Structure 1
Amino acid sequence: MRLALVCLAAAVAVIAAVWTWLGQPIPMPSAPLKAGDKLWCVSYAPFRGSQSPHQEGIQIPAAQIEEDIAQLAKMSNCLRVYATDQGIENVVPIAARYGMKVLQGAWVSNNPVKTQVQVEAALALAERYPDTVLAIVVGNEALLRGDISAGDLAALIRSVKARAKVPVTYADVWEFWLRAPDVAAAVDFVMIHILPYWEDFPIAAGQAAAHVNDIHKKMAGLYAPKNVYIGEMGWPSQGRMREGALPSPANQARVIQEVLAYAARENYRVNVIEAYDAPWKRAQEGVVGGHWGLFDDSHRAMKFGWGEPVSNHPFWKMQAAGGIAYAILVFGIALWARRHSFLPAAPARLWLAVTANALVGGITIGWTVVNVPIESMGVGGWIRCLALATAAIASPLVLSAAIMRGIPQPAIARIIGPKSGRAQHKTAIAVGCVAMLTILVAVISALGLVFDPRYKDFPFAPLTGAAMPFLVASLVTPRPSGGRAVTEFATALVLAASVVWIVPNETVANGQSLWMCAALAAFAISLVRVRDAQS
């Protein structure tokens, strides 16, 4: 009992220390804006919550747009919008009342008729509000999507210029401007997108601002004397790593502020993407797509203050408290199992194993719970995330009880096979059920990152919580003398092969990938060690 209390105290101390470290606010560079200054421009889409531009017939109320613009007018001089329908046509007249300017987009698609409707509406807005519309942006990343040829786009831009009384341009990722000299010749100024996170070779947050500045300098030299504006620049606050590019609240605040500081020194204009988080983008780009906003979607609250420290885990105290409570529960289950065990004594190695389970669960449980609503998209996404969370919560508890009772992980065949050969002990059955759930979510997660990885997240926290206790139990619990369990061995091969593919594909710079692959490898080792007990 004394050893158990010592181990529990150690686990509690480590969990508290880890979460204190994770939650510490990270210092930011000096505020890039002077007192009273505002952003030059910020991208704005009025869709909230479940609203999406892909919903047939959706029309955003003018009152909802005005509520946003009243807030945005306090921190930006300009809004960039991308289309002229679905209520977005109300942005210009509302912005005019608040003294804001608008970069008015006309959405160019692969449907020429719809494109022309967008163009006519943009021209009408510019005609009616010449003091508000700064420019008409004919198309956004249409070349990137392949919706129109460069020649046709250049012709469209020239036709709009012939009728517009404001400057006309186009906006796309900077590399696509290099491939379309006709388009560059047609516009009044060049509007480039520089998103270090989405580069073909992703740029880490620490180098992102310098990268943006270097690209702008290169493009400004190529297209002089035309002005080169940055039409989109930002960084996500949540989502999967791409090589060394890590989305996080602190990295978002750092990159945006450092780029704005460069722009102020070098005297060029930057449009920040974007005003508010856009949940609808998660269906297209995964978690990361919905978290580029300066303001969150649900509370419309700014995520950081200029020049102020930022914590990547603002709820760390609650997560630490939850982790400590969970560790106490793990030890409570272990003590209960020990009192109902047929083993003569509990050697120190068993309490160390329980401590390892409590640490793994206590550190990851807060991460897991917070990430469930962030990483869940659609019915399938919610089922997958809840299954992962269930495995992560159950595994340390069930495996700690099994460790104290000396019960090894049973083969799946002993759980769902012929009734005559099934496991009888309730703890063994519980271990087998948790094992099956963990196998399911581990294989789905691993294969998703093998066959369709671009927008897949790395559920490293729940997989660690679910997988590591199986490895710990396999190392301290005596194994049956039977042969290898076939299903478990085959699953281990699949997970091992996935790890061999994922690590080089994501590169060793991707810490999330390495962490998750370590959890998959640990689980694979535990599965290899499962033996099919003799009947």
Structure 2
Amino acid sequence: MRFSTTLTAIAAALPFTQAFWKGMNIGANNADGSCKTQAQWQTAFNKLKGLPQHMTSVRLYASSDCNTLANAVPAALNTGTKILVGVWTEDSAHFKAEKDALEAAINQHGTDWIIAISVGSEDLYRGDTSASTLASQIYDVRGMVRALGAKQDVGHVDTWTAWVDNANTDVITASDFIGLDGYPYFQASTIGDAYNTFWDSVTATRNQVNAVSPGKWVWVTETGWPVSGETYGGKAVASVKNAQTYWRSVACDAFNKIHIFWYAYQDYSASPSFGVFDKNGKAIYDLYSC
């Protein structure tokens, strides 16, 4: 497999015990809807860093919303955390605000805190845009950050079902890396079948990517199992027990095989809720054993 020079360099820079990025998705809002302060970002980053997996990487969904990068980047620098940056693409004014926030963060803090940059998140799955439009936005952001001196990869995050759709190959071509969101729960998988269902989605995505643009890395940018919520499709049961099972079978295995960002650090009162920590910062299930 052909690897990008940027990712090869990143892998070489990682400690031997962390050959792959492993982290969590973190939202910019608190349980009451307020925006995370720099101190609250730092608390979250330190909590992940303190896990046995020593998670020093996170995925953020946006750049300007809630002053995400303005508050999160200083916290990341203070804790040795690296960020998979999100740039929201919906509507031109929002897209510009996102690019402006990313540009400001790079101008102020350099680029060492960046793992990679995702332009958009599940836009193709939602049908909010066309593949050609999204590809143009990826090229746009890549051009901007290259001019600012950032060499990190620029790609897109979407569901595995969007990636294997032949209508979306323009986005594969435009992306330096492929961010896969895969949830066996939403495929109505039993917890007993979830491990195989997850890896089948990774394999299907890799096969499509290699057919379109050989050698590009597929990352898992979202996966997890809900701790509460309805039974989906009559088979996928949301429970703390099953979330624990999914963590031990999928996360503990994937940490050594692929770049992966678990969903999610906190999910508060959503239903189904995929949160790993409750609103008080206490782990909902055991993250300390694999």
TM-score by length of 2: 0.81
Are the aligned partners of 2:225 and 2:246 in contact in 1 as well (CA < 8 Å)?
A: yes
Alignment of 1:316-465 (within 5 A): none
Aligned match of 1:98 = 79
User: How far apart, in 2, do the equivalents of 1:40 and 1:308 lie?
Assistant: 15
2:39 to 63, 80, 85: 63
Q: Does the alignment pair 1:77 with 2:56?
A: yes
2:173 is the alignment partner of 1:185: yes
Q: Structure 1 residue 108: deviation in Å?
A: 1.7
Distance 1:264 1:240, change over 3 A: same
Q: What amino acid maps onto 2:221 in structure 1? A: G
1:363 corresponds to = none
**1:80-479 correspondence to structure 2 within 5 Å:** 80-84=59-63, 85-89=65-69, 90-109=71-90, 111-126=91-106, 128-164=109-145, 165=150, 166-179=152-165, 180-199=168-187, 202-224=188-210, 225-242=215-232, 243-264=234-255, 267-279=257-269, 282=270, 287-288=271-272, 291-297=273-279, 299-306=280-287
In the alignment, is the contact (CA less than 8 A) between 1:47 and 1:278 conserved in 2? Answer: no
**For the structure 1 residues 133 and 39, does the alpha-carbon distance in structure 2 shift closer, same or farther, using more than 3 Å as the test?**
closer
Letter in 1 for 2:40: Q
User: 1:367 maps to which residue?
Assistant: none
Name the aligned partner's letter for residue 193 of structure 2. Q
CA distance in 2, matches of 1:213, 1:100: 27
Write the distance in 1 (CA, Å) between the matches of 2:116 and 2:103.
10
Q: CA deviation at 1:222?
A: 2.6
CA contact (8 A) 1:141 1:173 kept: yes
Superposed CA deviations along residues 93-128 of structure 1, whole A, max 9, x for unmatched, are 21111001100101121x211112112322443453
Q: CA deviation at 1:306?
A: 4.0
Letter in 1 for 2:219: Y
For 1:322, the equivalent position in structure 2 comes to none
AA aligned opposite 2:57:
C
Taking the aligned partners of 1:233 and 1:123, their CA distance within structure 2 comes to 29
Shift in Å, 1:308:
5.8
Secondary structure of 2:86's counterpart equals: strand
Code of the residue aligned with 1:203 in structure 2: it is S
Residue 146 of structure 1 and its aligned partner are, at CA, apart by: 2.5
8 Å contact 1:231–1:271 — kept in the other structure? yes
What's the secondary structure of 2:116's corresponding residue?
A: strand
Higher Cα Rg, which structure: 1
Rounded to whole Å, the distance in 2 between the matches of 1:77 and 1:254 is 23
* Cα deviation, residue 39, structure 1: 7.1
Q: Give 1 or 2: higher helix fraction.
A: 1
Tell me which amino acid in the other structure corresponds to 2:38.
A
Shift of 1:262: 3.2
Does the CA-based 8 Å contact 1:192-1:231 persist in structure 2? yes
Aligned partners of 1:241 and 1:113: how far apart in 2?
Answer: 39
Alpha-carbon displacement from aligned partner over 1:283-334 (angstroms, at most 9, x marks no partner): xxxx21xx2111112x21012224769xxxxxxxxxxxxxxxxxxxxxxxxx
Partner-residue secondary structure (3-state), 2:229? coil
Residue 260 of structure 2 aligns with an amino acid whose one-letter code is: V
State the structure with bigger RCO (CA 8 A, min sep 6), 1 or 2: 2
**Cα shift readout 1:482-517 (whole Å, capped 9, x = no counterpart):** xxxxxxxxxxxxxxxxxxxxxxxxxxxxxxxxxxxx
1:61: Cα distance to partner?
2.5
Letter in 1 for 2:226: P
Mapped to 1, the partners of 2:43 and 2:288 lie a distance apart of 26
| TM-superposed deviation, 1:71 | 1.5
Q: Which residue of 2 aligns with 1:533?
A: none
> Displacement of 1:209 after TM fit?
1.4
Indicate the SS of the match to 2:192.
helix
State how far apart, in whole Å, the 2-side matches of 1:63 and 1:120 are: 23
Contact 2:225 2:274 in 1 (8 A): yes
Rounded Cα–Cα distance in structure 1 between residues aligned with 2:127 and 2:62: 18
**Pair 1:264–1:61, CA change in 2 (3 A):** closer
> Compared with structure 1, are the counterparts of its residues 140 and 99 closer, same or farther at alpha carbon in structure 2 (3 Å cutoff)?
same
Shift of 1:213: 1.1
TM-superposed deviation, 1:210? 1.4
Please give the per-residue CA displacement for 1:321-375, whole angstroms capped at 9, x wherever unaligned.
xxxxxxxxxxxxxxxxxxxxxxxxxxxxxxxxxxxxxxxxxxxxxxxxxxxxxxx
CA distance in 2, matches of 1:61, 1:306: 25
Q: Deviations over 1:39-88 (max 9, x none)?
A: 7111001322221xxxxxx5432222222222222231201000122132
Q: Following the alignment from structure 1 to structure 2, what is the Cα–Cα distance between the partners of residues 133 and 118?
A: 15
**SS of equivalent residue, structure 1 residue 231:** strand
Task: Name the CA distance, whole Å, in 2 between partners of 1:46 and 1:162.
Answer: 26
What is the CA-CA distance between 1:264 and the residue it aligns to?
A: 4.5
Residue segments in structure 1 that go unaligned for 5+ positions in a row: 1-35, 52-57, 310-535
Task: Give the whole-Å Cα distance in 2 for the aligned partners of 1:49 and 1:306.
Answer: 21
Q: Which position in structure 1 is the counterpart of 2:5?
A: none
What code does the residue aligned with 2:153 have? P
